[in-house]
Chains A and B, each alone.
Chain A
Amino acid sequence: DTAVSQTPKYLVTQMGNDKSIKCEQNLGHDTMYWYKQDSKKFLKIMFSYNNKELIINETVPNRFSPKSPDKAHLNLHINSLELGDSAVYFCASSQDLGRREAFFGQGTRLTVV
């Protein structure tokens, strides 16, 4: 069983469109995250959620809106996509706000054309 799963794995879309990336974890963790890996492979935190509540919003444009319907899911919705949004987006989870190790999904490669 995959611990942290993201869908879709690849997403190609046109500028201006709205898209969503879904994330689910079956580890029973309380904390979930979204990270962005840019073209230079640098990973940076976007959002942290703990028990469905937003903990960190790290200077992310408000075109990005995370939604946590329950503790096992953290979806990322992106409005009005721009070329610069092209990146790999990783979902992750951990127990107790990072006191234990973080587990990452396989990533979603978003390409905006």
Chain B
Amino acid sequence: KQEVTQIPAALSVPEGENLVLNCSFTDSAIYNLQWFRQDPGKGLTSLLLIQSSQREQTSGRLNASLDKSSGRSTLYIAASQPGDSATYLCAVNNQAGTALIFGKGTTLSVSS
């Protein structure tokens, strides 16, 4: 059974710092991996999608990497801003593509 773990559970950094959020999964037979952002009381916003054949994806200050064989992904946030404060969720799509399996998230707080 696929399990997704995110470390750390919470992270506080000063504005301007570069940071890395970690995600690991137990079954490497995934279709793709998606990073989301969730603001308090809001829905999920898709940040990046990495297909299983890809190694990384970039969007603005965000860079996500995928090492499928070792069951790991990282989300790199450059030059963090207070507006980046949110919970970041990692989710893997099972090989049939029928469901996302989520980690419990990393809650990020960026102070000005």
Instruction: Please name all residues of chain A whose beta carbon is closer than 8 Å to the beta carbon of B102 when the two chains form the complex.
Output: 42-44
Q: How far is the CA of A34 from the CA of B46 in the complex (A)?
A: 16
Total interface residues on B, using CB and 8 Å? 24
Query: How near does chain A come to B94, taking the closest CB pair, in angstroms?
Result: 8
CA distance A81 to B43 in the complex (A): 23
Any A CB within 8 A of the CB of B104: yes
Instruction: Indicate if B93 sits at the interface (CB-CB under 8 A).
Output: yes
Q: Which of B41-96 contact A (CB under 8 A)?
A: 42-46, 49, 87, 89, 91, 93-94, 96
Q: Contacts of A105 on B, CB cut-off 8 Å?
A: 43
Distance in angstroms between the alpha carbons of A41 and B36 in the assembled complex: 14
Task: Tell whether A66 is near chain B: CB-to-CB under 8 Å.
Answer: no
Most A-side CB within 10 Å, residue of B43, B89, B102: B43
Q: Give Cα distance in the complex from A35 to B99, angstroms.
A: 9
**CB-nearest residue of chain B to A107:** B43
Report chain B residues within 8 Å CB of A40: 104
Interface contact tally, CB-CB below 8 A: 64
A8 to B64, CA, bound (A): 34
Please measure, in the bound complex, the distance between the C-alpha atom of A103 and the C-alpha atom of B49, giving whole angstroms: 11
Q: Are A97 and B96 interface neighbours, CB within 8 A?
A: yes
Interface hub of B49, B89, B97 (most chain A Cβ within 10 A):
B97
Per-position contact with A for B1-43: 1 when CB-CB < 8 Å, else 0?
0000000000000000000000000000001101010000011
Shortest Cβ gap from A12 to chain B (Å):
16
Chain A CB within 8 A of B110 CB: no
Contact between B93 and A45, CB atoms less than 8 A apart: no
B99 touches A58 (CB 8 A): yes
Say which residue of B42, B93, B97, B98 sits within 8 Å of A106 (CB atoms).
Answer: B42
